[in-house]
Every structure is written in C-alpha cells, then in structure tokens.
A and B are shown apart, each in its own frame.
Chain A
C-alpha cells in the first residue's frame, strides 16, 4: 500500500485508485500505478496519463460498490477513530466515489427524486437553515471558544451563526443583517466578536453575547476583506476594499488607525501575524509585515497570468507564516514562499479545477478557484472551485490528495475549523457564468465534512 502510494506521489494524479483500497483491490490498484508510472510523467501538472487511469475506473467502480455496501452509517464529524473500528482502512468510507453510499444504496434522495439530485454527492452533513442566497464567506470560531461555531455571510445581506456539535448536528444560533451583501467575515481572537464586511461599504462588529452589531469601519466602496490582527502591542481590524485602500481600525474609534493605499481594488487578503498578504486587481500582490505597525513589506510580481481570486497564508514547521497560496480564475494555484532558499525551485504553480477532457491538449473547461484554506494541523490545503468540486492537496509532496465529486453548483467558499477536524464548504452560485445562470430559487447549501483523515500529508520517503 505504502509502496504504491510512494510511486504515486511522483505523479500529479488522482489518487482514488491508489489510496484507501482494501487488500483485495490492491492488485488492480498497483496495476494502475504501474501503468501510470510507465507513462513516465513526473511533472506535477500533467494529466496526460489519465486515460490509462480512467480505463481502470470501471473495474474499480464495481469493486467499490461491493466494498461500499458494507458501511453506510452517516459520517460522524469528530470521532474518526470510532468510525473505523471495523478494521477497514480509514478511507474506505470515503471511497472512490465520495462516500460509500454513492450509488444510492443509502436510500436518501438518490432514489426518492425523479431527477438525479446532485446537490450533495459527497454525502456530507448539510447545515440546517442555510442562507437564502449565495454564500460569500465562511469562518469557524477560534480555539479560545469551546465548541465549534460557524459564521457564514451571504448575498442575502445576512450573517448567520450556527453551533456545530460533535455529532454533526448544526443549530442555528443567531443572525445579523447588513444593507448589502456580506463579502467577508472573521472572528476576533477571543471568539467573542465577529466582524463582517459588506457591499454597503461598511464593516460591523457583532458582539455575540449581546447579539448587537455596531459599525466599525467605513469605506468608499464595498469592503471585500476583513481580518482581525492581534499583535503584542496592538489589535485592530484590517479591511480591504474596492476603493483601493487598506484600512486598519481600532473598533472603538470611527477613524482608521492607518490607511494604506493599494495599487488597485482589493480582491482577497489573508492575515497570520506578523504577515499579511493582499491580492488586488490587475494582478497586484503585496505582502505586509505587521510588527509594530502594519507596513508594506514587498510587492511581488504575480506568479499567475490571470485575475487573482483568493489567497491563503501557510506556516512552516515552526508555526511561522512563511508563504501563501494564490488562486486565480484560470484554474491555477501558485504556491509562493516569501524567502525561499531557492525561489525557482521552491515556488511553483499547479493546475486545478479543470475538466480533464481527453488530455491536456484538448480544450478543457477551466474554472476559477474560489477559495483556498490550509489545514491548521497538517499544513495541507483545500481548494474549492467554480466547477463544484473541492480538492485536497499536499504542497510539500506536490501531490493531490483527493478530489470530490462534482456538485451541481459552484463551491463558493470553504473553511477549516480550528483543530482541522471539520471542513466546511458552501455550494452556491458564484456568478462565474454571469447573470444568465443565476437561479434565485436554487437552494444554497453549506456542507460539513470530516477532515481529520483525508488531509493527512503524503509521506515523502
């Protein structure tokens, strides 16, 4: 098993065939890997050998069904050990085709509906009373708060809060409104306040205990990003807006502590003290250092050729922020280290969220990467895209860990909880195909998935 995985790690491939396969299927899996290896492709980004892989899928499919019939209990979020006591390898549950009940054997809506309902092909836990319009942002509570609370901002101008229990049950707790769609949310470090940024050009601070929200920031254009900065000598809220400014707010004052000019509209940002990254329109990319006071550290030439869409900072083994992952509308993510020993080798980009077609030379559909999130413990990352899939990646081994089934709507946001056990992703329309494909009647979902096992990094032996 490990051998095969090792072989497989050299290839930027879909590992469904190789991982989580019970002993009986080993041979076919190894055969697949061997075929793949004979194709002789080492490049991280090549998918040319997929045809060979795909050829084996029908066989594996039949086998998966057999194995899958065994386990059909709904996933429990936080008790991975218990769930796998049956002696199967952990990943059989999350088998080739999503969960084991991927073929309708669980008796859920698959058979009940007349049309194939693909809104939850991964059979993940659905959050109750999800927002009525597209979900723009998700955020889990910090570790200082006992339990898990999820905040989601939507285009219905509301921000909703759920408590997520260990059993997987979600309880809607509270809701606040803005006068415009909510584009970003974040928690304060002590978990008592939630900050929300909206198209109504303001940002609000929501005190959860009193359920009151007050405005703390003002811009000249919609506020696209909001982050809480906790430094040893100061704390503030950082808001990035389409008015090309980055403002830092002390929540008690109506004037910003600091205003930094951006070269263009702010599209996405991330903060892990003492580093902040802002990606703007026109492929702008700026890194800030936040010690003492926020100041521009470096402007970076974009490693991507198209519009920036999302950014997430990752940390090194010593838990210090060391680089970031940048996603674009062109189905590509760039991993960029701030001070790498060997920039040409250490920084790289990889393609994702593309329909494979027959091979890379045939026209493929390219989808935008809507969100990137790093697992707080493992350091592996998840990307969600307009194609309605999410993928898990190991950036150090430069491999893909998993790709989900395709949902019927784009996945617009994603988030890990503080200990990395829960992966939340939102299925709602992200406007990637314009207004023609907007269906206000379509239900928007937030799904929760057990992320403890699937995001374990590949061991680079």
Chain B
C-alpha cells in the first residue's frame, strides 16, 4: 500500500479508515473506535484550533483515543468549573481514580476563612485580599491553559495522569516519558556538547523563560537537541507551573552553544543568548523558580523529585519577574523579542505547521525560532 503522506505529516483526516498505509500506527483500534476517533479528532480540533487529528507517534491507537477522551473530558470539566461558581481552590483529577492534575492546590473554605480572620486581627486585610486574588489568578491561568490544550500542556497532562503528581505544590514537570521522545530522534552531534551545557546555570535559562511565555514548539524541537535537554540537568530545581518553560529554555540555550552549522535551528535568534551565557554562571537564588523537569531527559536525573521542593510561592516569584532583576544580560534578551522569536507572520506556512505539531518531522524543522504566540507557560 502507498504510505500516507498526510499521516507522515501528522494530519491524516481518515485515521484508521485511511486506505493508505500508516507506518507505525496499527489498525488495531478496530472499527468500533474509528468513528469515535474521527469525532473526537474533529472536536478536539474545534476546541484547540490546531490541526491535530491524529498523533502519528503514539504507540497505540487505543491509547490515543483514551487520551483524546481524557483531554476532552478535562476541557469540558474546566468549562464547567469556570461557569458553575464552584469552589475554586480545589484539586482536580480528570478521571475518578487517577491522580490529581498538577497546578491546582487544595484550600478548604475553613482554611481560607481562618486566614481571613488572622489577617483581620492583624489589620492586614489588604494582603489577604491580595493573596486571594493571586491564588484566583493562578487558578484562572491554569484553567485557561487546560482549556486551550496546547501541545505541551497535553504532554504534561498525560504524563501527570500516568505518573501521578503527588505533591501539594503545583508542579508541572516533564516526566521521564517525555525525555525518551526528545532524545531518541536526536542528532548525535549534539550529545557531545552535553558537558559544555552543564556549566551554565539556569539563570540564563530563566531569563529566557521570562521572555518566552513557554514554547511548545521549541519543546517539540528538542528531538533535534538531545543535548539541549541535558542542559537542564544543570538545573536542579523544578518550576511549578513553569516546567514547560524550562526544557525549551534549555534547548534554546543550547542553540547558542553549538556552532550554528550543526544545529538545524539557525543561531541568529540566539546570539543574544550566547553573550549572556558567556557571562558565566549566575547565582542561584531565583533558580528555584524553574525546575529541571526536563533534566530527566538527558541526564536521567529524576525531575519529579525536584518538584517537591516547591510550593506555591515559587509561582509568585516567577510572576514577579524577580528573575529578570537578578541579571542584566538576559533582560536585554527579554527586551528584544524579535531576536528570540519570529513574529508569526514571518513564518512560512510549513514552518508554522511544524511549530504547531507535537514533534518536528525530520527534514522539515524550521530554521527560525518559534513565534511568541505559540509558546505556552
């Protein structure tokens, strides 16, 4: 049978029904699941706005479908949660028996009220109101993230659901399952620069993070940068809610290490970063805000352990951009957005598509950095 070109690009509309061959994806889903598959594919498309009818790299069609259903369920639950006036400060799990999804903290009404009373007695109601507002904003951000279901959110969610996130602290991490995907298609060349990567503290990475709002596309690019992920091994702590940012940051950071000729990603976007990196390791205090979730990737260090170190406040530190204050060089990066990201209109359709897909397809990896809008923290 002819190999389905659309499937290779990750956008075959027929899925299991396709008359062409889909290498790697078996028709084992069975006819029963096919209509579901198509339907769910269609609806997720509508929900997300991304062209993702099928993930050609999922190992099992059934798993795919389950995941899709799970994700849809999550989206629906989020919508209901928002509109129903439910108690906000609650953990959530998509399916009854599964572990909680990270990013939500449990606060009972009594605890909140006790806080109120304490602040009342100390005449500090404003700070109570502020902290409640902050919590609400965090919740809202997380809910919106889950509703919009970008690729990186999905990947993180699925790893959450499988591996379980057991800490009180919201901790998004990329589990080791992701690591495998990143490293495997890699370019061997990159591995050699692993050691070099280690020297760089993740201050620079964090600077990167403040600039980028998270880059699923960059994350997706990491197959090309097996070593890129290993940079994060230098990072020892995890970043609740900003776990997304890190691996991408690190992979971006690695761009600058490698000679431009090596990397499939062009260097121009990261030249600014190079200079900052060259300034050497930066002291760690803000580092805790960013976790080395992806550190699992290259070095195999357990990213999940680092998650436990962080409680809510770390979200705040991130939000307060205290990071940017701690070093000047990265802040210059922040200022020059177009150096790090390409505006969406400057990308070709194909490049845009690549950034939007879950993984880069070999031979089609864009040379330009991803647009700001596609990044997601």
A460 → B minimal CB distance (Å):
26
For A222, the chain B residues whose CB sits under 8 A away are 110, 114
A306-B86, A306-B90, A306-B91 known; A282 vs B106 contact (CB < 8 Å): yes
Q: Report if A363 contacts B (CB, 8 A).
A: yes
A267-B108, A281-B168 known; A365 vs B84 contact (CB < 8 Å): yes
A307-B87, A364-B84, A435-B116 known; A302 vs B93 contact (CB < 8 Å): yes
A330-B90, A366-B85 known; A435 vs B129 contact (CB < 8 Å): yes
B308 → A minimal CB distance (Å):
13
Question: Which residue of A242, A283, A309, A365 contacts B91 across the interface (Cβ within 8 Å)?
Answer: A283
- Of the 9-residue stretches B94-102, B149-157, B330-338, which lies at the interface with chain A? B94-102
Q: Identify which of B93, B108, B117, B128 gathers the most chain A CB atoms within 10 Å of its CB.
A: B108
Q: Report if A287 contacts B (CB, 8 A).
A: no
For A281, the chain B residues whose CB sits under 8 A away are 91, 106, 108, 168
Query: Which residue on chain B has the smallest CB distance to residue A263?
Result: B166
Name the interface residues of A299-349: CB closer than 8 Å to any CB of B: 301-307, 309, 328-331, 349
For A309, the chain B residues whose CB sits under 8 A away are 108
For A270, the chain B residues whose CB sits under 8 A away are none
For B92, the chain A residues whose CB sits under 8 A away are 305-306
Please determine whether B109 and A199 come into contact, CB atoms closer than 8 angstroms.
no
Please determine whether A363 and B83 come into contact, CB atoms closer than 8 angstroms.
yes
For A366, the chain B residues whose CB sits under 8 A away are 80, 84-86
Q: Report if B113 contacts A (CB, 8 A).
A: yes
Docked complex Cα distance between A367 and B90 (Å): 13
For B168, the chain A residues whose CB sits under 8 A away are 264, 281-282
For B117, the chain A residues whose CB sits under 8 A away are 155, 181
Docked complex Cα distance between A363 and B79 (Å): 9
Please determine whether A199 and B91 come into contact, CB atoms closer than 8 angstroms.
no
Number of residues from A at the complex interface, CB < 8 A: 42
Number of residues from B at the complex interface, CB < 8 A: 32
A72 → B minimal CB distance (Å):
36
Docked complex Cα distance between A199 and B117 (Å): 11
Contact with A along B63-105 (1 / 0, CB 8 A): 0000000000000010010011111011111111100100000
Q: Report if A224 contacts B (CB, 8 A).
A: yes
For A297, the chain B residues whose CB sits under 8 A away are none
Q: Report if B111 contacts A (CB, 8 A).
A: yes
Q: Report if A430 contacts B (CB, 8 A).
A: yes
Docked complex Cα distance between A282 and B114 (Å): 19
Contact with B along A363-383 (1 / 0, CB 8 A): 111111000000000000000
For B91, the chain A residues whose CB sits under 8 A away are 281-283, 306-307
Query: Which residue on chain B has the smallest CB distance to residue A301?
Result: B97
Q: Report if B132 contacts A (CB, 8 A).
A: yes
For A283, the chain B residues whose CB sits under 8 A away are 91, 93, 100, 106
Please determine whether A305 and B96 come into contact, CB atoms closer than 8 angstroms.
yes
Q: Report if A431 contacts B (CB, 8 A).
A: yes
Q: Report if B189 contacts A (CB, 8 A).
A: no
Name the interface residues of B158-190: CB closer than 8 Å to any CB of A: 166, 168
A264-B106, A363-B83 known; A242 vs B132 contact (CB < 8 Å): no
Docked complex Cα distance between A305 and B94 (Å): 7
Query: Which residue on chain B has the smallest CB distance to residue A304?
Result: B96
For B39, the chain A residues whose CB sits under 8 A away are none
Please determine whether B128 and A329 come into contact, CB atoms closer than 8 angstroms.
no
Q: Report if B284 contacts A (CB, 8 A).
A: no
Q: Report if A434 contacts B (CB, 8 A).
A: yes
Q: Report if A168 contacts B (CB, 8 A).
A: no
Q: Report if B18 contacts A (CB, 8 A).
A: no
Query: Which residue on chain B has the smallest CB distance to residue A366?
Result: B84
Q: List 14 A-B contacts (CB under 8 A).
A: A181-B114, A181-B117, A199-B114, A283-B100, A305-B77, A305-B96, A307-B87, A307-B91, A307-B108, A330-B90, A363-B80, A366-B80, A366-B86, A435-B113
Report which A residues bind B (CB closer than 8 A).
136, 155, 180-181, 183, 199, 222, 224, 242, 264-265, 267, 281-283, 301-307, 309, 328-331, 349, 354, 363-368, 430-435, 438
Known: A281-B106, A303-B96. 9 other contacts (CB 8 A): A282-B91, A283-B106, A303-B97, A306-B90, A307-B89, A365-B84, A367-B86, A435-B129, A435-B132
Per CB-CB distance, the 3 closest pairs between chain A and chain B, nearest first, are A307-B90, A366-B84, A363-B83
